[in-house]
Structure 1
C-alpha cells in the first residue's frame, strides 16, 4: 500500500472519531461522574472509561524464555509512556488517572505474550528517555520514532509506520503545505526532542541556504498549550503526529490538516518500542509483536483505535532510522 493511500485512509477513519465533551488534555470535573463514551457518526461508541477491556494475548513460552532473567524473576514489564493529551496514542481516561490508548494496548499484548504483568508508568517525554537509559523502565511505548542518534543509546522493535501532519486554523492564512519552501517565514510549533523537530530544522536549514525567510520555531511542553497558541493565532501551524492531529481536528472543530509528511523523508520512518541498548530485551519484544501480528490481535487493537492504516506486516529490530543531525 502506498504512503499516500495510507494517509488518505488514516484521515478518513480518524474523522469518524466522536466529538468529546472536553479538550483531550483536560480531565472531567472532579465533582461529576465520568462521562459516558461518546458516539461516533456511525453510532459506534469509543470507550474512554477506565475499564478498557483491552484485547489480550496468551503467553508463548518460547518467546517468554528470551526475556532477561532479572525481568522474568520480577514478573513485570515496566513500560514508560507519556500518557497525557495524546489521543488516540496515550492519554487519560474519563477518571483523569488511568492511561489508555493504542500505545498501552500494544504494550499489554507484548506483556501478555511474555508472560509478564504490565506495569505502565506515565511520564514526561524527556524523562521517558532518561528512565529507559537508566534501566528504571524496561521499555518505552510512546510513539517513538527510530533515529540513528537514538540507536546509539537504545534498541528498537518496530510496530507502526510513522506519518506526521501540519495542522493549521480552519480558514487561516495557511491552506496547504506541500514542500519545504512552503514553511519559510511561518511560525510553527513543535515538540522539543522529537523527530518532527528534526525534520522542521532540516527544512529550515534548506530554506535558509536558498535565501528564504527562516521559520520561527516555537517550543511548548504541553500539547494543550500548542493548540491554544494555534487557535489564538500565535502559531501559524503545529507539526505533530498524524494520528493525534487528525483526532484533534475531528474533536476540536477549529483546525484542519494542511499537509502530511513521510516521517523519514527519503528514509522509511518507523514507530517502535524502545529499550536500553544491549539489555537483551529487544529480541523478545520484537518476537512478541510478530506473534500478535500473526495471530490477528495486533490488528484488533489498531482497528479499535482506527489506526489500521499505520499497520506493519512485521516487527523489525533496529531498522535504518532518521538521519543524524548535521554537526555544528
Structure 2
C-alpha cells in the first residue's frame, strides 16, 4: 500500500504557524485591519484578509472565443465552491464573509484567460452537484476528485494532485499505514465524498481478511467532526490532505497520522475542475489551466497557500478516475 506522506507533510510544514482563529471562522471584523497576514514556517506571508490582491492572468483570445456563446455573452463565469470551511482550499477571510483560498484563486485565473468575470457561489457539498446538474453553476473548482462514476455525468480538467489525510487528536498513539490500521476504529468522513468511498473499500478488504469492521460516521461540516474528534466519539477524521495539515498546524490540537493518494490503491488521484457533461466548457477550461501552468501564475498561487507539492505538469481532460467501489 502506497504511503505518500511527502506532499501533505510539506503542506504541514509550510502552514505550521497559521492562525487558529481563521480555522474556527470566528474572526472579529473590527480587528481585521490591524491583524497582520499569517506567516508560514518558511517565511511565506499568507494574506487572510478580505483584500486578497489575487494573481491574474491575461485573456487569450483563441481560448476565450471558444467559450459557449451564452456564457461568453453573459460575461460571467458562475463558479461554485464548497462553503468556506476547508483552509487552505476554500475558507472565510478574517471578515468571516469573503471566501479565499487556493480554489477561488485558481478559478480566478481560469476566468481571466477565458475573458470572463468570476462570480462565486458557496454552497454545501451536495448542492455543488445539484447546481451543476440544473445549470445554475457553470464550473466547480472545489476539491472534486475525478472518479469513474462522476465521469458519467460530469467532465473534468485536472489541476491538482489529490491526497487525503487521517487526522487524530495530538496525543494519539497510532498511525495509519494501510487498511488494517483502521480495523475496529470509528472514523469521521463527509457523506458523498471520495474519502467515504475509500473508507468503505478498506472496510471490505478488512472484512475479507477477517479483521474488525470500521465504523464510518458522517458529518457535513468541520465544527461537527472536530467536536466529535475532541470528545472521543471518533478516533480520527478522514478528509482532504491540505485541509487536515492546515487544521493540525493551526489548532495545535490534532495531528496527521497518515496520508494517501485518494484512490488508496496505487492510482494517482486527481482533483478536477468540474462541469456538466458536454456543456462545451471543459476544453476551454483545460486550455486555460494549461496556459497558467505554463506561464507560472499557477505555481505562484500554489506557493501562496503552501501547496506546491500538489502541482501537476499539465491539465488533462477526463483522465482515468477512481474506480467504482
TM-score by length of 2: 0.94
After superposition, give the CA deviation of every residue in 1:123-179 in whole Å (9 maximum; x if it has no partner): 11100011011111001010000001101110000000001001111112x421111
1:308 to 1:39, Cα distance in 2 relative to 1, 3 A: closer
Alpha-carbon offset, residue 85 of structure 1? 1.5
User: Which residue is 2:274 aligned to?
Assistant: 274
Alpha-carbon offset, residue 259 of structure 1? 0.6
Q: Is the 8 A contact 2:44 2:304 kept in 1?
A: no
Alpha-carbon offset, residue 71 of structure 1? 0.2
Q: Quote the Cα distance in structure 2 between the aligned partners of 1:178 and 1:3.
A: 10
Which sections of structure 1, spanning at least 5 residues, go unmatched?
Answer: none
1:3 to 1:52, Cα distance in 2 relative to 1, 3 A: same
Q: Is the 8 A contact 1:83 1:100 kept in 2?
A: no
Alpha-carbon offset, residue 266 of structure 1? 2.5
User: Which residue is 1:160 aligned to?
Assistant: 160
Q: Quote the Cα distance in structure 1 between the aligned partners of 2:62 and 2:174.
A: 52
Q: Is the 8 A contact 1:113 1:288 kept in 2?
A: yes
Alpha-carbon offset, residue 12 of structure 1? 2.9
Which sections of structure 2, spanning at least 5 residues, go unmatched?
Answer: none
After superposition, give the CA deviation of every residue in 1:280-308 in whole Å (9 maximum; x if it has no partner): 10000000000000000000100000100
Q: Map of 1:1-328 to 2, 5 A cutoff?
A: 3-15=4-16, 17-20=17-20, 22=21, 24-29=23-28, 33=32, 35-41=35-41, 44-172=44-172, 174-264=173-263, 265-325=265-325
1:58 to 1:181, Cα distance in 2 relative to 1, 3 A: same
After superposition, give the CA deviation of every residue in 1:33-70 in whole Å (9 maximum; x if it has no partner): 55442334455432111110000001000011111001
Alpha-carbon offset, residue 5 of structure 1? 3.9
Q: Quote the Cα distance in structure 2 between the aligned partners of 1:112 and 1:230.
A: 40
Number of matched pairs: 321
Q: Is the 8 A contact 2:83 2:123 kept in 1?
A: yes
Q: Quote the Cα distance in structure 2 between the aligned partners of 1:165 and 1:51.
A: 30
TM-score by length of 1: 0.94
Q: Is the 8 A contact 2:165 2:241 kept in 1?
A: yes
Q: Is the 8 A contact 2:161 2:271 kept in 1?
A: yes
Q: Quote the Cα distance in structure 2 between the aligned partners of 1:194 and 1:290.
A: 27
1:294 to 1:193, Cα distance in 2 relative to 1, 3 A: same
1:322 to 1:43, Cα distance in 2 relative to 1, 3 A: closer
Q: Is the 8 A contact 1:249 1:257 kept in 2?
A: yes
Q: Quote the Cα distance in structure 2 between the aligned partners of 1:288 and 1:31.
A: 38
Q: Is the 8 A contact 1:85 1:224 kept in 2?
A: no
The 3-state SS of whatever aligns with 2:223 is: helix
Q: Quote the Cα distance in structure 2 between the aligned partners of 1:268 and 1:167.
A: 21
Q: Is the 8 A contact 2:5 2:258 kept in 1?
A: no
Q: Is the 8 A contact 1:189 1:235 kept in 2?
A: yes
Q: Is the 8 A contact 1:189 1:226 kept in 2?
A: yes
- Cα RMSD of the aligned pairs, angstroms, is 1.6
